[in-house]
Amino acid sequence: MLQAFARSLSRPFSFLRAAAVAVALLAVAVTADRAAAADAIRVAVLKFGTVNWLMDVIKTNGLDAKNGYALELVELAGRDATTVALQAGDVDLITADWFWALRARGEGEDMMFAPYSAALGAVIVRGDSDIKGVKDLVGKKIGVAGGPLDKSWLLLRGYGEKEAGVDLASAAEPVFGAPPLLNEQLKNGSLDAVLTYWHFAARLEGSGLKQIIGVPEMMDALEIEPNPPLVGFVWRSSQLGDRGAAVAGFMKSVVEANRLLATSDAEWDRLRPLMQVDSDAEFAALKTRYREGMVEGWSAAYTGSADKLYQTLETLGGETLVGPKSTFEPSVFWMPSS
């Protein structure tokens, strides 16, 4: 194309020919830009979120290019900012749970969900604590990451009612707050126990504290099996339009990255600076808990248990949790054949 442009300059009426070739070159450039944009997947991430580990593995190992798309990360300050960015069309995917996707669907948004982790939170106590199980939490001060409608807290309440016949909302003293603050209050003795997200729980375990009840154990007791993954990637199907191949490529690279993290200690060693750990024990705890939560997509079995989890949490949290227009829709879950 460039050679043709050069030759045209030496011919009669070269201006017209040059103009024609220039237009052709511009069309090629615009087409290339559009193709690149069509193959790009923009994912909103929190600066210190654990999903960054997964995204780093994809980019460092070229799993995006291998699967036919270009991964672009958009760092945002908070979860509210990510949902706003998705709804505004500024990003293609965010990390969220499928409860949020269902609630958005109830409001008319065509959200889809695919999991990347089934890692869940836990109740953590100090190493010298005499708290062994849910019955021992009665009368104790329990730090709860999030608020009264936190899903893990609702499950702990349901678990307490089934296993001990008590509602910990009234039988104990819940203290709601941000995970880092709760962790420090547990360590200094201001709290007797903390129910927190998996990675904060793992960091506490790495500091010598111990887990007494995991959210998977709560689900098992409530007969929600297999434990469905809660967290994953959410996107608007209309926003991505006919880019199904790029979405499928992204999801395939997520599975491949998780497989690499499941088998390669060297990959974890490379990630260690990104994880901001204070000790070998903390690093080991995070790696172990992450690996325990790995999943390779959604399954029909998960759909059945997710329905039961939805009904359970709707009973405990009511309309305030699920939204006034939300219902359980199996079509929200993306599978490779979707």
Per-residue pLDDT tens listing for the chain (338 residues): 444 434 443 444 343 343 333 333 333 333 334 334 458 999 999 988 999 999 999 999 999 999 999 999 999 989 899 999 999 999 999 999 999 999 999 999 999 999 999 999 999 999 999 999 999 999 999 999 989 999 999 999 999 999 999 999 999 999 999 999 999 999 999 999 999 999 999 999 999 999 999 999 999 999 999 999 999 999 999 888 778 899 999 999 999 999 999 999 999 999 999 999 999 999 999 999 999 999 999 999 999 999 999 999 999 999 889 888 889 999 999 988 65
Task: Burial-class residue 33 by CB neighbours within 10 Å (0-12, 13-18, 19+).
Answer: exposed
- Neighbouring-strand partners of residue 194: 124, 143
Query: Alpha helices of the chain — where are they, by DSSP H?
Result: 2-8, 14-39, 51-60, 63-66, 79-88, 98-106, 151-164, 168-171, 179-187, 198-206, 215-221, 237-240, 244-263, 265-275, 280-292, 300-322
Quick: pLDDT tens for 102-121.
Answer: 999 999 999 999 999 999 99
In tens, the pLDDT along 198-220 reads 999 999 999 999 999 999 999 99
Report whether 142 contacts 173 (CB < 8 A): yes
Classify burial at 238, counting beta carbons within 10 Å of its beta carbon; exposed 0-12, middle 13-18, buried 19 or more: exposed
In three-state secondary structure terms, 190 is coil
CA distances from 52 to 57, 72, 337 (A): 9, 12, 27
> Exposed, middle or buried, 79 (CB in 10 Å: 0-12/13-18/19+)?
middle
Query: pTM (2 decimals)?
Result: 0.86
Distance CA 187, CA 209 (A): 9
3-class secondary structure, 209: coil
Dihedral sign, CA of 24, 30, 32, 35?
negative
